[in-house]
Structure 1
Amino acid sequence: MSKHTFDQYAITSTVSRIVEGLGFKTPTPIQQQVLPPALRGESLIGQSHTGSGKTHAYLLPLLNKMDESLDEVQFVITAPTRELAIQIHEEVKKAIRFAGKEEAWLSKLLIGGTDKQKMVDKLASRKPHIVVGTPGRILDMVKEEAVDLYHAKGFVLDEADLMLDLGFIEEVDQILVRMDENVQMLVFSATIPERLQPFLKKYLTNPVHIQIEDDKPSPETMEHRLVPLRHKDPADVIIEISKSIQPYLAIIFTNGKKHADQLADDLISRGLEVGVLHGGLSPRERKRMLKELQSLRYQYIVATDLASRGIDIQGVSHVINAQMPKEEEFYVHRVGRTARAGLQGTAINLYKESDLPLIQKLEKKGLTFEFYEVKNGEWKEINAYNERQNRERRTSDIERKAKQMVRKPKKVKPGYKKKIKKEASKNLRKLKRESYKRK
């Protein structure tokens, strides 16, 4: 038996059929670490980036405990957005199909934007074994007594930090107080912000903490460009960029809903047709915007970090950071929307001096940035932000060396300082010539 196969885990023959149907051969790093404790029924916190295989890291252990003789909800999966909940539910349905359990296992998707009474009626006809949905609608169904979650064995909180940002943690809290206190908690999050700690401490006692560090923070087919703002209006710079690129679809990221609306208005007033996507839109508006994106109505969409994880947008060729994110993980999520499946992708970052610490952290992680400005719709390569600092450092090092090379006289005579200065200048010219020859 090879070191990393699904055979090494204590999974049922039904779950083995799911793995086979999915075409999985080797578990991903997050699956390798999550499966053993999750299969033992332990609660855990898993930190990993989008696309790491975390959905099946929690799905397989939960399906492994399915008891079809019980006519009750056995596990609950919550996601911060309807779109993400739909994606997870599709994976659950696929797993049920591969397991050959279409008649025995029932999964229900509980999300907003659908008729509440119809949902209540459907839940009354047959109780689901699996509930997938957004916290608000799940809580609605619990309050309507259309669904009882008390006997559920497992609870998944996916994209916990985004759940916190969008203000849904309170609803998650209200769901959990109506569940058995011994429920297995599986929390997944790209980052664990300080504000999330009280919630985690309340519901998880000594959880297993798993953190997956990606070797490569972005695909090799990804190009990262840095464009200095230099007190210019971001909308003006983006208009210049738009003259030089032909995106299939470009996402323009901002930090927050107000900034997104403002930038969209500024770009529209300058003649660029853009869509807007953020957590402040109603479910109906979001649905309409995603439909318009799929029908290629827009080449550009101004968005918040909601679109970097909570929503699946196909065909993104360019990511433009109108504002650099506050944390490196968010940069990785944003640029992760493009260069998928081996395709090319470009990240264009408008930066200010205050963004340099973040850029330096990303460089330490292995990202390579190229420095450009764009004028009259044309890209022009420029010196790196630290080129002058490096040049000054090199010059001061050479000057120091030139001074050290000067032979100080044993006896001090009149005019010796002038003589030393002259010799140091001579040495400096010689060292500079040698330095340029080596380049």
Structure 2
Amino acid sequence: MENENNHFSNFSFHPVLYNVVEKLGFSRPTQIQQQVIPAVLKGKSVIGKSHTGTGKTHAYLLPLLNQINESKRQVQFVIVAPTRELATQIYDEVKKTIHYADKNGIWVAKLLVGGTDKQKAMEKLKEPPHIIVGTPGRMLDLVKENAVSIYSATSFVIDEADLMLDLGFINDVDQLLIRSRADIQILAFSATIPQRLQQFFDKYLEDPLHVNVNSHLSPETMEHYLIDVKHRDTADSIMEISKTIQPYLAIIFTNGKEMADNLAGSLQQKGLDAGIIHGGLAPRERKRMLKEIQNLRYQYIVATDLAARGIDIKGVSHIINAQLPKEEDFYIHRVGRTARAGMSGTAISLYQETDIKLIKRLEQNGIHFHYADVKGGEWQEAKSWNERQLRNKTTTNIDKEAWKYVPKRKKVKPGYKKKMKQQQDTIKRQLKNKYKK
């Protein structure tokens, strides 16, 4: 049953922010927004552990913009993200909020990312903005050049902190925080918190509020399918799957850039119009591909984990794991691209024997898999990995046990092997009947 008190009107927002919420089309705050917004308004630091699609961007954006001091033309809030695409998406949300608040020209935000003209960026920063959003490398570069000062900032947001660590940018974040005031409010959001990241948080965050909205590994509106590869070609298997599904948009995950290139090439040769996105693409090619994806040029996109973590691809209805990842967290990140904001979604994974350890862990953590196969464009039910293992094990054990009861003869006559096999078969049948009872 929904909490009747769960409304944005319960937060201490200025009237202008309530108008923004209405124009954004938000009806009720999400779980992370309910917990984070009051803490941010009180000036408390926060560590938010949440996967994609939980509404975390507005969990920090709304309360920060509520506290903006438009009379002071200095940097008040710093938001860092690990990739240009993610930083651009956050900046676009900031601009949209400013527009909805009817504060264009009064509230000023700037985007600071690599791959853009540094000299032009320095020119634009001559009059300090209220908010800066960007990648830590470019931001640090401009701070060192004295093009912008972040010492005036009262809040510092670290989005996708674990990806920041994975990509090696956490040292740049460290250097930015060294150049910030000691009592700065830090709002860190991460899907996972590995030990190295926890050490970083311990260094900078004093008594933060811990918010964890990962209580469910995947939404209830999501279905998970497993298909045994059985030495078949991956591209052939995906072509078979494509005949049975009608995705609005499907992301096909691989475990590396080389596999992504090879698979996309094979699928294109077989007639599937598939886009590709991974960290190895040249910046211009990556930008072009993202534009085409956002314009729904493709129905299928082949991607790697890091590339897909750093971008928000809207309208994903299906996830296809051409290869299962090695870690549970990566499986959750991948499937978290779909079934967002209450929508349904489907995750289809090709698996082999080496993946069984991961599957067991995911099943133990509450994910229910449907075991299936696809033949002739139709779904078929299949036996689960443990059913097959159990059947093989039981058959082997009965075989061994039956031989124990077959008398061994010292003197043998012609045809003795055939007779012994017949005896063994008879005993096997008896043992099977005994096990059934």
Q: Aligned-pair distance for 1:341?
A: 6.2
Aligned equivalent of 2:33: 31
CA distance in 2, matches of 1:199, 1:258: 33
Shift of the 224–64 alpha-carbon distance from structure 1 to 2, 3 Å rule, reads same
* 2:43 counterpart residue number: 41
User: Counterpart in 2 of 1:400?
Assistant: none
Closer, same or farther: CA 246–12 of 1 in aligned 2, 3 Å: closer
Distance 1:204 1:285 in 2: 39
Residue 180 of structure 2 aligns to which amino acid in structure 1?
Answer: M
SS of match in other structure, 1:386 = helix
CA distance in 1, matches of 2:172, 2:232: 42
Alignment of 1:53-132 (within 5 A): 53-124=55-126, 126-132=127-133
* More deviation, 176-185/383-392: 383-392
Secondary structure in structure 1 of the residue aligned to 2:347: strand
Q: Residues 152 and 343 from structure 1, CA distance in 2 versus in 1: closer, same or farther, beyond 3 angstroms?
A: closer
Which structure 1 segments of 5+ residues have no match? 396-421
Tell me if the contact between 2:52 and 2:337 (Cα under 8 Å) persists in the aligned partners. Answer: no
Is contact 1:112–1:283 with CA below 8 Å preserved after alignment? no
* Structure 1 residue 98, shift from structure 2 partner: 3.2
TM-score by length of 1: 0.81
Q: How many residues align?
A: 408
- Shift of the alpha carbon at 1:307? 4.4
Give the corresponding residue for 1:301.
Answer: 301
Query: Alpha-carbon deviation of 1:153?
Result: 0.4
Q: Which residue of 2 aligns with 1:149?
A: 150
Does residue 209 (structure 1) correspond to residue 176 (structure 2)? The answer is no
The aligned residue for residue 371 of structure 2 is 371
The answer to whether the 8 A contact 1:218-1:367 is kept is no
Query: Structure 2 length as normaliser, TM-score?
Result: 0.81
Taking the aligned partners of 2:341 and 2:152, their CA distance within structure 1 comes to 40
1:360 CA drift (Å): 3.2
- Is the 1:79–1:157 Cα contact (8 Å) retained in structure 2? yes
SS in 2 for 1:324: coil
Runs of 4+ in structure 1 off by over 6 angstroms are: 392-395, 425-428
| Offset at residue 378 of structure 1 (A) | 5.0
In the alignment, what sits opposite 2:285?
Answer: 285
Aligned to 2:191: 190
Q: Which whole-Å CA distance do the structure 2 matches of 1:428 and 1:382 have between them?
A: 23
Q: SS in structure 1 opposite 2:53? A: coil
Q: Is the 8 A contact 1:318 1:347 kept in 2?
A: yes
CA distance in 2, matches of 1:162, 1:254: 17
Q: Secondary structure at the match of 1:18?
A: helix
Q: For residues 58 and 143 of structure 1, what CA distance do their matches in structure 2 show?
A: 27
Counterpart position of 2:335: 335
Give the residue type in structure 2 aligned to 1:75: F
2:310 equivalent in structure 1: 310
Give the C-alpha shift of residue 194 in structure 1. 2.1
2-structure distance, mates of 1:5, 1:248: 32
Deviation at residue 248 of structure 1 after TM alignment: 4.6
Q: What is the identity, as a one-letter code, of the residue corresponding to 2:54?
A: S
Q: Deviations over 1:170-227 (max 9, x none)?
A: 222222222112211100011112232232222222322111134471352x432211
Change (3 A) 1:53 1:237: same
CA contact (8 A) 2:49 2:189 kept: yes
Give the CA deviation at 1:228. 1.4
CA contact (8 A) 1:218 1:335 kept: no
Percentage of matched positions with identical amino acids: 60
CA deviations on 1:218-241 (whole Å, 9 max, x unpaired) are 352x43221112444534433444
Distance 1:150 1:317, change over 3 A: same
Which one is further off, 290-299 or 42-51? 290-299
For 2:136, the equivalent position in structure 1 comes to 135
1:381 partner letter: E
CA distance in 1, matches of 2:139, 2:108: 16
**CA distance in 1: counterparts of 2:155 and 2:357, whole angstroms:** 41
Contact in 2 for aligned 1:166/1:279 (Cα 8 Å): no
Comparing 303-312 with 360-369, which one deviates more in the overlay?
Answer: 360-369
Contact 2:53 2:341 in 1 (8 A): no
1:398 aligns to what?
none
Where does residue 324 of structure 2 map in the other structure? Answer: 324
Deviation of 1:4 (Å): 2.6
Are the equivalent residues in 1 in contact too, given 2:81–2:159 (CA < 8 A)?
Answer: yes
Offset of residue 306 of structure 1: 2.9
Q: Which amino acid in 2 is paired with 1:123?
A: L
Q: Contact conserved, 2:53 with 2:337, CA < 8 A, in 1?
A: no
